[in-house]
Structure 1
Amino acid sequence: MIASVRGPIRHVGLDHVVVEVGGVGLLVHTTPETAAGCRTGQELTLETTLVVREESLTLYGFDGADAKALFEQVQTVSGVGPRLALAMLSVHSPGAVRTALAQGDLVALTKVPGIGKKSAERLVLELRDKILALGVEPGLAGGGAVAAAGGEDAVQTQVREALQGLGWTAKQAEGALDTVAKGAEAPTDVAALLRATLRELGR
């Protein structure tokens, strides 16, 4: 099991980074917000989970042990795999996911692409007692805000592609971006704009 990685960042994608560890570049899947807070060349430490399949080895990385623990916990529910677990953490912070599970907030859970009402009910049924036993710590998503080179168009392009990667259609992503961009104080960096657009899509 690869529990964590640390090293210089060699590449930053919309939902992944490549971290050099001991001369080997490891591709680590992350949330779009985590990736948006990374810069090529900077030293990065991520808590990681290695998902082993017959045909692949896939590494998922998180900026804290809390997110990693939740990523692993939600996968104990039937029908929830690593991609869906990562989508949950892309839309909500770990604290917000736990709050939704503890309170049975199906509306919040179904904001995640790939989670319908029945899936949300199953998540609440199987995890509510476990979450309540550990205590709930509501919170907002963290993550650094990094301005994208190339100006506003480049920022919106990155956010649009990240939203489509999470499961929304191009039309939905464009509509939400337009609404947020018309606001009085529209975000100008990738991470903040992504958060604002996700909130708009969840209305």
Structure 2
Amino acid sequence: MIASLRGTVVHVADDALVIDVGGVGYSVSATPALTRVVSQGSEVFVHTMMIVREDSMSLFGFESRDELAAFSLLLGVSGVGPKSALGVLSHLTVPQIAQAIDADDDAAFRRVSGIGPKTAKLIVVQLAGKLVATASAAGQNLQPKTDISAQVIAALVGLGWSERVADEAVARVVSSGSAPTSATVSSLLRTTLAELGPARKEMGDG
């Protein structure tokens, strides 16, 4: 599977790029937000997902891992295909998706072409609790609750922290970049325990 591409842009359309990587041109479907900021001849790096069907193979490219993660989660919703998922990300930023889901606001998704009322409601229902909107220095940022994060939260709960405190601490560590990109359960747990250290001390002193 092709997980990312780095190369030279040889063609730009409203919803796609052609990226030359070592003499091979890859057609990559993308959001207008990405296609507007690149130009022919420029170098670009995109996170990609390859969708394989019986009669086609398609690449979808994203500027950030957050967008790729949101795209993947949207594909898991009944009735949402690659084009519809890309349509959502073309109309809503990742933080806006998280906020709409948290607010149970399916109207935000109904405004996307190809998303009907039933599918919009399913997006809100099926993605509830799977995305966490966390504050970061750059503004609102979305962090997907990965299996690793979930395991770390469970471990922290087992050590005596509340689920809310554990959840918030893991989200802070992930969004701040303190955890390594290839974090394991043990490495993320150690980093989060360091983050929670002062809180534990205050509890003990009380």
Q: TM-score range by the shorter chain?
A: 0.5 to 0.7
Alignment of 1:49-60 (within 5 A): 49-60=49-60
Amino acid at match of 2:97: V
Shift of 1:81: 0.6
Structure 1 runs of 4+ off > 3 angstroms? Answer: 137-141
Q: Following the alignment from structure 1 to structure 2, what is the Cα–Cα distance between the partners of residues 137 and 13?
A: 33
Gaps of 5+ in 1: 142-203
Q: One-letter code of the match for 1:129? A: G
5 Å-filtered alignment, 1:1-203, equals: 1-131=1-131, 135-137=132-134
Identity of paired residues, percent? 39
For 1:136, what is the secondary structure of its paired residue?
strand
Within 2, Cα distance between the matches of 1:11 and 1:40?
6
**How far does residue 140 in structure 1 lie from its aligned partner after superposition?**
7.7
**Would you say how many aligned residue pairs link Structure 1 and Structure 2?**
138
Q: Deviations over 1:124-160 (max 9, x none)?
A: 11111222xxx2148689xxxxxxxxxxxxxxxxxxx
Q: Whose strand proportion is higher, 1 or 2?
A: 2
Structure with max Cα Rg: 2
Superposition TM-score, scaled by structure 1 size: 0.65
CA distance in 1 between counterparts of 2:6 and 2:140 reads 25
Q: Residues 134 and 140 of structure 2 are in contact (CA less than 8 Å); yes or no, is this contact kept in structure 1?
A: no
Question: Cα RMSD over matched residues?
Answer: 1.6
AA aligned to 1:105 is D
- CA 1:40 to 1:89, structure 2 compared with 1: closer, same or farther past 3 Å? same
CA distance in 1, matches of 2:130, 2:38: 33
Query: Are the equivalent residues in 2 in contact too, given 1:52–1:58 (CA < 8 A)?
Result: yes
SS at structure 2 position matched to 1:7: strand
The 8 Å contact of residues 49 and 68 in structure 1, kept in 2 or not, is answered as yes
Query: For the Cα contact (< 8 Å) 1:71–1:86, is it kept in 2?
Result: yes
Structure 2 counterpart of 1:42, which letter? Answer: S
The unaligned stretches of length 5 or more in structure 2 are 142-206
Q: Which amino acid aligns with 1:136?
A: A
CA deviation after TM superposition for structure 1 residue 116, in Å = 2.0
Counterpart code for 2:29: H
Structure ranking higher on relative contact order (CA contacts 8 Å, 6+ apart):
1
**Quick one: distance in 2 between partners of 1:85 and 1:42?**
27
Compute the displacement of 1:32 (Å): 1.5
1:83-105 CA-partner distances (Å, limit 9, x unpaired): 00000000000111111112111
Instruction: Quote the Cα distance in structure 2 between the aligned partners of 1:51 and 1:124.
Output: 23
Q: Deviations over 1:62-99 (max 9, x none)?
A: 00100000001111111101000000000000111111
Distance in 2, matches of 1:10 and 1:137, equals 36
